[in-house]
Structure formats: structure tokens, C-alpha cells
A = this chain, B = another copy of it.
């Protein structure tokens, strides 16, 4: 059994049991991959795949078990390389982050800027997707960090470091009648207008719908998007009242939109940064976490890396201590 055989095995699996595609991905010849697979199966004395004629048909039951172990092995091999890189190539490497649009567009820019200043040679990859897609990416692909909100169940294998909390904001055209209320806005007020907001499958956001239901209200959602910019565009067109994360209610929007704080109307959300508990974090990765979750002390972060599970982490923080990010407050995170 060789590491490369396991690597090829995983490449085959990750390319839909297509050996040719796997070979291309590994920058090697197809017969080589084919042969190594055969050698591995011979050494183990078992079939890892069923064959359909000459093509690979399916993964055998035993094959699944082997693949699972092979992934652990490759992961730890990567970890060893990671450890080593930290010693002689401190400022070289790359950082892949999977996150949602709101984070990528409104929260990360200033953090990324600071990070690039400190580590100019580190390549940064930003992968955008829904919570589900992020969960997929981090479990299969080579993603270092996930940054998202809520939905702890989707990310059970990750260590989640909470960063900040946030509420929703209501976004309407400047002359909208909701701007003329002389009292705090209520859900009843909102229910009387057509709403434009995030798609509900969007991690944790369905709590929005439930907030209405809890008061026996039926919100009139006319349009959903997964992108705050799209929502604001439609609000500008007068299609309805927008409900977005407060971070997405940018200062620049205030020129032609009115932003009403919706604190208290909906449950407060917590955004975190997560990483695989079996991953070795390179120095610049730890620094990124500290940038993103700036209230975390170096000492606490050490504890987290030693913690065995998410539950352990929860004991290390009081959620109430997390900063709250509001609308149009630049530099909150960087300044802390």
C-alpha cells in the first residue's frame, strides 16, 4: 500500500469513478492510475469497485470503508506537510474560505484587506454558496474555513468560533410610509406590505418566517433572493419592503434608501468561523481567525485548538460578550 495509490483511489472516487478524469486531475497518465488501482486491489485482495464490463460500476461496501480510511490518511499527510511548511515557508501558502454572499460582500472586505497587508504572499480563495453548499465544500474539498450563520446541525464536524451577532434591518425607498412612523416598527406593520428578503432555505433565515407565524401573521413575501444586493435593487424598484442583514445595509445605500433597525423583531443571529477539528492550522490561518473573531484572545484560541468538540468551545465563551454588528458602522471588527 502506497500513499499514492490511496491518492489515486480518492481521485477516482472524487471524479465519479472515471479513471481518465482522475488521471488528468493528478497530472499523470491514465494507464498509471489504472495500474495503481489494480495493484492496490491485488494487495488488499478485494475489489474496491464493481466493474461494468471494463468500466467502474460502483463502490463496493468494503470499498466505502477503505475510502473513508484513505481520506483520513491523506488528511493527516496534508497536516504533516502543513506543519512542515509553517517552519520554513511562513509566509507562503493559500487560504480557502467558503462563505455566504453577505459575509463576502459586506464583512470580509476589510478583514481580507488587513490580512493581505500582513500576509501578501498568501493566496486567498473565496468560495461562495448557500449554507448547504458550504457544508458540502468543507467536508469534501480543500476548504480551510467556513464562515456562516446559524445552522449548527449542518456543521457538526466543525469547530465553530463565534465572531459577532447581528440583527435585521428594514430597507425601503426614502419616501416610504414606513419611514413616517413615530413609534418603533412592529411585525404587524411589516405584514401589511409586500416583502423582499432572503430565500428561506438560506441557513437559519427561516427563523424570519417563524417570527411572523409566532404572532399569527402571514407575511406577504413577493420576492426572495440569496443576495442582499439583489434585494436592495428590487426595493429601489418599489417592489416591496426589504429585510436584510444589518451589515448589508451599507452607508452608501442611505443616499436613496431608508434603513430602519429591526432589532428585536427577529431573533438575533450569530456568525462564526469554522474549521475541521482534525485540520492543522497554519500560523496565518490562526491569524485570520483572530482577525475575524477579534474578541477572541490568543489564549482562548489556543484552548479552542486543543478542544475536542464544538461543545467544549461553547464553554469557552459567553455569547453575550460578542460584539453586535449594526448597519453602517464601518470598522467595527477592525477597530476592536
A interface residue numbers (CB < 8 A to B):
1-3, 44-46, 62, 65-66, 69-70, 72-73, 76-77, 79-81, 83-85, 87-89, 280
Contact = CB atoms under 8 A, between A and B. Distances in A.
A308 to B, nearest CB: 9
Most chain B beta carbons < 10 A, residue from A1, A45, A80: A80
Contact of A62 (B79, B81, B84): B84
B83 A62 contact: yes
A65 B81 CA distance: 11
B1 A80 contact: yes
A81 B3 contact: no
Contacts of A65: 83, 280
Nearest to A88: B45
Contacts of A69: 76-77, 79-80, 83, 280
A2 B3 CA distance: 6
A87 B65 CA distance: 12
B44 A84 contact: yes
Given A45-B88, A62-B84, 19 more contacts: A1-B3, A1-B81, A2-B3, A3-B3, A45-B84, A45-B85, A45-B87, A45-B89, A46-B84, A46-B87, A62-B87, A65-B280, A66-B84, A69-B80, A69-B280, A70-B80, A72-B73, A73-B73, A73-B77
A1 to B, nearest CB: 6
A80 B73 CA distance: 10
A172 B88 CA distance: 69
A11 to B, nearest CB: 17
Most chain B beta carbons < 10 A, residue from A45, A69, A88: A69
B45 A77 contact: no
A1 B82 CA distance: 13
Contacts of A89: 45
Nearest to A89: B45
B87 A66 contact: no
A302 to B, nearest CB: 15
Nearest to A72: B76
Contact of A81 (B44, B76, B80, B81): B44
Contacts of A280: 65, 69
Contacts of A85: 45
Contact of A80 (B66, B76, B80, B84): B66
A293 B72 CA distance: 31
A80 B76 CA distance: 15
23 contacts: A1-B77, A1-B81, A3-B3, A44-B80, A44-B81, A44-B83, A44-B84, A45-B85, A45-B87, A46-B84, A46-B87, A46-B88, A62-B84, A65-B83, A65-B280, A66-B80, A69-B76, A69-B79, A69-B80, A72-B72, A72-B73, A73-B73, A76-B76
